A and B are shown apart, each in its own frame.
Chain A
């Protein structure tokens, strides 16, 4: 990437009037100056026309800057350089465009969520609260989310981890190829289809109309297993082969080698992978609407009996009610959910940072 510039040899003779080898280039300060200039010009124009709008301003400034720098470059430099500068600004714009939703989303969730997010909101349920009453909270949803996610993890981590062990340590031939391929395909299953799968299974097992937390947890684990397999497989592949060979050389059987050498070495990576998988399924909504119900209002800590609320479904059902107070609850619930997800991400980072094995 680093195109090292060759500095021209020191010239002892005075420069001749013939065109130099390098051709003319725009001075380095020009692009930033142009950008600032077009921003100011657009702001002034919009202000004078009395149509001030930050989005329109940003778009106009970007277009004006791109046009100006391209034309100037085409005049002063050459066509190829002009195209290069054009693409450079387009690429920068692409990245900025992607940051707009991220920043605006985080900002709206934070500013609107903080209105209602307090100790009261976190510690009470919606039991006995009518939709428009200025009361109620999210405690029952937090309990449901944690319980169902925990059960999903209890199901998926052993299956996912053992499959990863199989793929890395044992698998060969057709079966391994098939599992690798279908795990990849399984990552792409729409979450609502996972929910329908459990619905279909439950109808077969218990008859129609049964919703409980366990059904939600199983739907979540269908979504979680492939993620766990992928990340664990990657981590197990990073374990140096010398460690396995050293263990075999000491006469340790293969299963003990995996259990006592390979897995402990990869432990921090495995933990990180599981936490990221948790962060992914904790925000799933659609399968839970189908399997755990969307109308529970009271605290239910029993996974096998009755409907169970969760944070994402809480947000969704509040939005469906549509009143101002419901939106306030939804924003506060969204903030709670995002905080939980971010905490999981942070914990995953910390684990991989502090407990990573010292290689070398």
Chain B
């Protein structure tokens, strides 16, 4: 079976242009252009609708933390705390998920018994199939209850680290809980990407390392990880993009407040996406338009992260 690209190797027979051909090719190209138009439309409509509130805003949009937008007179709102919370939650998720995801990918590709490796990989993919609202329900209904005593323990013994300073939230509805659930949600994304590159490591490299007497870990360190590094970075950035934009888990778990706080075990902080979901039903006055401008900030952040991730991943493909 040839896997070469049909559009460059095969040409339809030359001759007069048939009407069917013109229509079909036009339709196909039109759909492609429509997708570009939708993406441009997303940006355009968000900018257009946010203009209204940004012009009326009496506070600096980027340095203010408060959110008084549900009014027609002198709204004052800003995304400083929201943007900080978004980045903080995503950073916690990334720090927790990336090492585990690399371990899982190594396990599935190099450690698990051949026969069951595919099944185990399928189990990890199953994590990606679970809807985010169910993660939120699980987080608020089960996980935070389990985590609360752990947080108390963490504060007792590691409270001297500023991140874990008390007083600990007794409900467990903290930034760290939200970050942990986000980590579980992005785990399958990073794992899938990392596993794909690990599978592509040339067998000759691995066998050469083993033939020189390397142990399995030395083989991985010398042959697999250097080859797989762009894939790991790209996968982690894709996971980051997902964590930045994830709404429901944070909206349901975190007990929010619009402050900039580094204390992971106390309630507080809020992310852009969760703020929009929670505030939208009650938005009046400039409220909707203000939320759209917050969404625009989120869109811009995720767009940059995703484009950078795709760039890293696609650059690797050219050398592989």
Bind each other: yes
Chain A contacts to B: CB under 8 angstroms? 1, 3, 55, 80-81, 83-84, 87-88, 90-95, 97-99, 101-102, 104-105, 108-109, 112, 158-160, 162-163, 165-172, 175-176, 178-179, 181-194, 196-197, 199-201, 203-204, 208, 222, 225-226, 229, 237-242, 244-245, 248, 251, 253-259, 279-280, 282-286, 289-290, 294-295, 312-313, 315-316, 319, 327, 330-331, 334, 337-338, 341-342, 345, 359
Is there contact, CB below 8 Å, between A334 and B134?
A: yes
Task: Say whether chain A's binding surface is mostly helix, strand, loop, or mixed.
Answer: helix
Known: A95-B103, A190-B298, A285-B131. A171 touches B35 (CB 8 A): no
Chain B 211-229 per-residue mask, 1 if CB under 8 angstroms from chain A, else 0:
0000111101000000000
Answer whether residue B292 sits at the interface, using C-beta atoms and an 8 A cutoff. Answer: yes
Is there contact, CB below 8 Å, between A338 and B130?
A: yes
B-side interface size class = 35 or more
Q: In whole angstroms, how far apart are the Cα atoms of A171 and B42 in the complex?
A: 24
Is there contact, CB below 8 Å, between A88 and B217?
A: yes
Q: In whole angstroms, how far apart are the Cα atoms of A74 and B7 in the complex?
A: 58
Answer whether residue B61 sits at the interface, using C-beta atoms and an 8 A cutoff. Answer: no
With both chains docked as a complex, state the minimum distance between the C-beta of B237 and any C-beta of chain A, in angstroms. 10
Q: Which residues of B contact A248 (CB under 8 A)?
A: 10, 12-13
Answer whether residue B262 sits at the interface, using C-beta atoms and an 8 A cutoff. Answer: no
Is there contact, CB below 8 Å, between A189 and B299?
A: yes
Answer whether residue B269 sits at the interface, using C-beta atoms and an 8 A cutoff. Answer: no
Is there contact, CB below 8 Å, between B12 and A316?
A: no
Q: Which residues of A contact B99 (CB under 8 A)?
A: 94
Task: Say whether chain B's binding surface is mostly helix, strand, loop, or mixed.
Answer: helix
Q: In whole angstroms, how far apart are the Cα atoms of A178 and B134 in the complex?
A: 35
With both chains docked as a complex, state the minimum distance between the C-beta of A193 and any C-beta of chain B, in angstroms. 5
* Closest residue on chain B to residue A179 by CB atoms: B32
Q: In whole angstroms, how far apart are the Cα atoms of A341 and B99 in the complex?
A: 29
Select one of B123, B124, B135 contacting A105, CB under 8 A: B135
Answer whether residue B80 sits at the interface, using C-beta atoms and an 8 A cutoff. Answer: no
Answer whether residue B236 sits at the interface, using C-beta atoms and an 8 A cutoff. Answer: no
Answer whether residue B158 sits at the interface, using C-beta atoms and an 8 A cutoff. Answer: no
Chain B contacts to A: CB under 8 angstroms? 1-10, 12-13, 18, 20-21, 23-25, 27-36, 38-39, 41-42, 45-46, 48-49, 99-100, 102-104, 106-108, 110-112, 114, 120, 123-124, 126-127, 129-138, 140-142, 146, 184, 187, 191, 206, 210, 215-218, 220, 238, 241-242, 244-248, 251-252, 273, 276-277, 280-281, 288, 291-292, 295, 298-299, 302-303, 305-307, 309-310, 314
Q: In whole angstroms, how far apart are the Cα atoms of A283 and B110 in the complex?
A: 33
Q: Which residues of B contact A167 (CB under 8 A)?
A: 32
Is there contact, CB below 8 Å, between B218 and A95?
A: no
Is there contact, CB below 8 Å, between B31 and A158?
A: yes
Select one of A87, A186, A338, A359 contacting B35, CB under 8 A: A186
Is there contact, CB below 8 Å, between B120 and A286?
A: no
The 3 nearest A-B residue pairs measured at CB? A190-B245, A283-B131, A94-B103
Please name 18 pairs of A and B residues whose Cβ atoms are closer than 8 Å in the assembled complex, sorted by A.
A84-B217, A91-B106, A94-B104, A95-B104, A95-B112, A159-B31, A166-B31, A168-B5, A188-B305, A190-B244, A196-B276, A238-B3, A241-B6, A254-B12, A286-B276, A316-B248, A330-B137, A334-B134
Q: In whole angstroms, how far apart are the Cα atoms of A289 and B247 in the complex?
A: 11
Is there contact, CB below 8 Å, between A169 and B133?
A: no
Known: A90-B103, A104-B142. A192 touches B276 (CB 8 A): yes
Known: A248-B13, A283-B132, A312-B133. A182 touches B42 (CB 8 A): no
With both chains docked as a complex, state the minimum distance between the C-beta of A321 and any C-beta of chain B, in angstroms. 12
Known: A199-B288, A331-B141. A283 touches B134 (CB 8 A): yes
13 more CB-based (< 8 A) A-B contacts, given A104-B142, A172-B8, A175-B32: A91-B103, A98-B127, A168-B5, A176-B32, A191-B245, A192-B247, A193-B245, A204-B48, A244-B10, A251-B13, A254-B25, A283-B131, A286-B247
Known: A105-B138, A166-B29, A315-B137. A193 touches B299 (CB 8 A): yes
Q: In whole angstroms, how far apart are the Cα atoms of A222 and B141 in the complex?
A: 31
Q: In whole angstroms, how far apart are the Cα atoms of A97 and B191 in the complex?
A: 13
Is there contact, CB below 8 Å, between B45 and A197?
A: yes
Known: A88-B217, A108-B142. A255 touches B24 (CB 8 A): yes
With both chains docked as a complex, state the minimum distance between the C-beta of A189 and any C-beta of chain B, in angstroms. 7
* Closest residue on chain A to residue B45 by CB atoms: A200
* Closest residue on chain A to residue B210 by CB atoms: A3
* Closest residue on chain A to residue B48 by CB atoms: A200
* Closest residue on chain B to residue A221 by CB atoms: B38
Q: In whole angstroms, how far apart are the Cα atoms of A108 and B49 in the complex?
A: 42
Q: Which residues of B contact A285 (CB under 8 A)?
A: 131-133, 247-248
Q: Which residues of A contact B298 (CB under 8 A)?
A: 190, 192-193
Q: In whole angstroms, how far apart are the Cα atoms of A231 and B123 in the complex?
A: 20
